[in-house]
Structure 1
């Protein structure tokens, strides 16, 4: 029997035809996306569900989806899909993360032109029958310095277009290698240098704890007077209240925002200010982008339903059903090892070598490698998954190698990471115990046995009496409850490390207090997906 797919949102006829050409039985019923009861009544008959943003794939809907194997979103955002609930049901969730890159980059360029020449205000004035030629004095883009925060897929396209406009492009991106920077024609800089030099600043990073309010009041104050700011990435990257004050004072000459802290944006501090261009999250809104993601979603779903091929999955590794039962704990270990490296490393990672020892070498090492790289990159970009991470890592010049070897030492098998930045070398190893739980067994060459949990604290210090007692007492004084504690040292008087499993996230005030003691070289709160 041919697989059946329901299209519950508006997809192009060409996408529907792709399903048919691949032998998929398809029902095109876009009205169901807005009628949750009717969708719940119909969904039980389908193997696949193709959606855009109108359809809400909730836990309740999934209860009715007795045959559903895959949900695929034509676009990158999957806020309308309950991914944990889908995972529990064994339903794969896919998206199409690369279909709207050009469209979003072009919108950023368009917004830059608009704010440089005050086009919306000049247009409104002229429509009103005024002829205020002297009022709208703009600036040229040629020879201006464009500061790009985030030089990944979309940011890289913006850099390319800006070079064509004869701008001087500088970029801040912790994962940008020199090789990649040379390829896209930009000068790598640190954030403070970008803020000080840029005539225009455009943002192209995801919203994470590290990037939230990256243009805060403090950082906006570091910018060149007369700077113009463009944000077509994510709301929350720019402190809108601080931006409004900088616009009123004249420190910022103009701003162009396609995204806002709260959407739909009904009342932003920047609304009504002169030379502020605002659009309602139109970054992906072109007919070409909408067509591209629709065609991609049809191709991906057809490949999975016909052959089991998995592309751009957000909630599973690229492994067969037979492998999944065995691979699960090892995939989680690989992701956690990568996540540790990503969270403790601030510099650009140039090389990653992954050693699969013993039993681990007999598994699907390609999937384990993808899990490692995803773990590393998710520290700065939570949207990365096992499929997209290797592609993005390669684009950014990260060199990845792997080694397989027979079992050595005390374990039947383990995974070890060795990473190199410009200045530092780091290593970590882990294994899966018989209880199916990942363990860290070595950090920086120091043997340990650390259970991996959601909230952890990693500290390093010189091995001297009293430090560990101080660590424990300070955690207690700040109300931090220790669930488990592991320590190790290089040698007496040498480097020592401690890995502490906590019941709750480490408070920022606790981390600050530990740092202020000057007893610890590193104080790193860690969060793991367990």
Structure 2
């Protein structure tokens, strides 16, 4: 879409975006209307928008889409997930949907490693101990990540970034996915297993599969 086509478009912004991104939209000549995602059902919400830009919190469902038709043409989400958008209804109404797959994959992978280390090293308990004036060195010694078995459910963009980072910690990595990734298996020594095997043999399990009806409640009382 050229800049001239963007100029004059009226955009509904449902959540806080980075100031740089807002600036780019304004420089392109768009009119931006900020509206709290929790108040999208408010009768006072204007309906003359060409596009919606939001994140994962608001629900772009049939009710909202119907309110914004016939002018609404684009739904844009600032992330990879599309589970909050009624894709089928958007397709029926000719509304184009855009996401940003992989945009936060590295950040999420780093966060997973951080949380795993925090848990193994009892970091929160150590911090509380120090703040309380105690130095429980031996009681809160924790464990190493090295030598553990790490199970990954879903080897998409986040999963592959995670594997790359975990490889340096000398862990055994199991994974399950709807398809095998032979390239990653050869490069990092991954082991492709079914979900039951992964859950039974892993010390740590992390889930990075797509959220839809087939993966909803993938982890529950029965699987745990």
- Fold match, TM over 0.5? yes
Superposed CA deviations along residues 173-220 of structure 1, whole A, max 9, x for unmatched, are: 35123233223x1232423654565443333333567666xxxxxxxx
Residue 125 (str. 1) matches residue 129 (str. 2): yes
- 1:33 Cα offset (Å): 3.3
Larger strand proportion, structure 1 or 2? 1
Q: C-alpha distance in 2, partners of 1:25/1:104?
A: 31
Residue 166 (str. 1) matches residue 147 (str. 2): no
For the aligned residue pairs, the C-alpha RMSD in angstroms reads: 3.1
2:179 to 152, 175, 181: 175
1:15 to 18, 21, 35: 21
Superposed CA deviations along residues 309-338 of structure 1, whole A, max 9, x for unmatched, are: xxxxxxxxxxxxxxxxxxxxxxxxxxxxxx
Residue 238 (str. 1) matches residue 213 (str. 2): no
Give the 3 Å change call, closer, same or farther, for CA 95–208 of structure 1 in structure 2.
closer
- Indicate the SS of the match to 1:42: coil
Alignment of 1:50-449 (within 5 A): 50-65=53-68, 66-183=70-187, 185-191=188-194, 194-195=198-199, 197-206=201-210, 236-240=217-221, 243=224
Is the 2:109–2:161 contact (alpha carbons within 8 Å) kept by the matching residues of 1?
yes
Q: C-alpha distance in 1, partners of 2:153/2:30?
A: 45
- 1:240 Cα offset (Å): 4.6
1:33 to 32, 37, 49: 37
Q: C-alpha distance in 1, partners of 2:183/2:203?
A: 25
Structure with more relative contact order (C-alpha pairs < 8 Å, separation 6 or more): 2
1:47 to 50, 53, 61: 50
Residue 5 (str. 1) matches residue 26 (str. 2): no
Is the 2:83–2:211 contact (alpha carbons within 8 Å) kept by the matching residues of 1?
no
- 1:140 Cα offset (Å): 1.2
Superposed CA deviations along residues 219-250 of structure 1, whole A, max 9, x for unmatched, are: xxxxxxxxxxxxxxxxx33335774xxxxxxx
Give the 3 Å change call, closer, same or farther, for CA 173–79 of structure 1 in structure 2.
closer
Alignment of 1:485-500 (within 5 A): none
Q: C-alpha distance in 1, partners of 2:51/2:146?
A: 49
Structure 2, unaligned runs of 5 or more: none
Is the 1:4–1:26 contact (alpha carbons within 8 Å) kept by the matching residues of 2?
yes
Q: C-alpha distance in 1, partners of 2:181/2:84?
A: 34
Q: C-alpha distance in 2, partners of 1:33/1:81?
A: 13
Q: C-alpha distance in 2, partners of 1:171/1:53?
A: 26
- Indicate the SS of the match to 2:152: strand
Give the 3 Å change call, closer, same or farther, for CA 115–40 of structure 1 in structure 2.
same
What's the TM-score, normalizing by structure 2? 0.77
Q: C-alpha distance in 2, partners of 1:51/1:198?
A: 36
Give the 3 Å change call, closer, same or farther, for CA 24–39 of structure 1 in structure 2.
farther
Q: C-alpha distance in 2, partners of 1:48/1:9?
A: 14
Is the 2:83–2:212 contact (alpha carbons within 8 Å) kept by the matching residues of 1?
no
Q: C-alpha distance in 2, partners of 1:12/1:101?
A: 18
Give the 3 Å change call, closer, same or farther, for CA 158–80 of structure 1 in structure 2.
closer
What's the TM-score, normalizing by structure 1? 0.36
- Indicate the SS of the match to 1:137: coil
Q: C-alpha distance in 2, partners of 1:168/1:49?
A: 43
- 1:154 Cα offset (Å): 1.2
- Indicate the SS of the match to 1:43: coil
